Chain A
Amino acid sequence: EPEVTQTPSHQVTQMGQEVILRCVPISNHLYFYWYRQILGQKVEFLVSFYNNEISEKSEIFDDQFSVERPDGSNFTLKIRSTKLEDSAMYFCASSGPGAGGLETQYFGPGTRLLVL
Chain B
Amino acid sequence: SQELEQSPQSLIVQEGKNLTINCTSSKTLYGLYWYKQKYGEGLIFLMMLQKGGEEKSHEKISAKLDEKKQQSSLHITASQPSHAGIYLCGAVYNDMRFGAGTRLTVKP
Contact = CB atoms under 8 A, between A and B. Distances in A.
Interface of A: 33, 35, 42-45, 48, 56, 58, 89, 91, 93, 101-102, 104-110, 112
Given A101-B30, A110-B41, 17 more contacts: A42-B101, A43-B88, A43-B98, A44-B98, A45-B95, A48-B95, A91-B43, A93-B43, A101-B92, A102-B50, A104-B33, A105-B33, A105-B90, A105-B96, A106-B45, A107-B35, A107-B45
Contacts of A33: 96
B31 interface: yes
A107 B48 CA distance: 14
A109 B95 CA distance: 20
A32 to B, nearest CB: 12
A107 B96 CA distance: 12
Nearest to A101: B92
A75 B43 CA distance: 18
A104 B48 contact: yes
Contacts of B95: 45, 48, 56, 58
B30 A109 contact: no
29 contacts: A33-B96, A35-B96, A42-B98, A42-B99, A42-B100, A43-B43, A43-B88, A43-B90, A45-B95, A45-B96, A45-B97, A48-B95, A56-B95, A89-B40, A91-B43, A93-B43, A101-B92, A102-B92, A104-B33, A104-B48, A105-B45, A107-B35, A107-B42, A107-B43, A107-B44, A107-B45, A109-B41, A109-B42, A110-B41
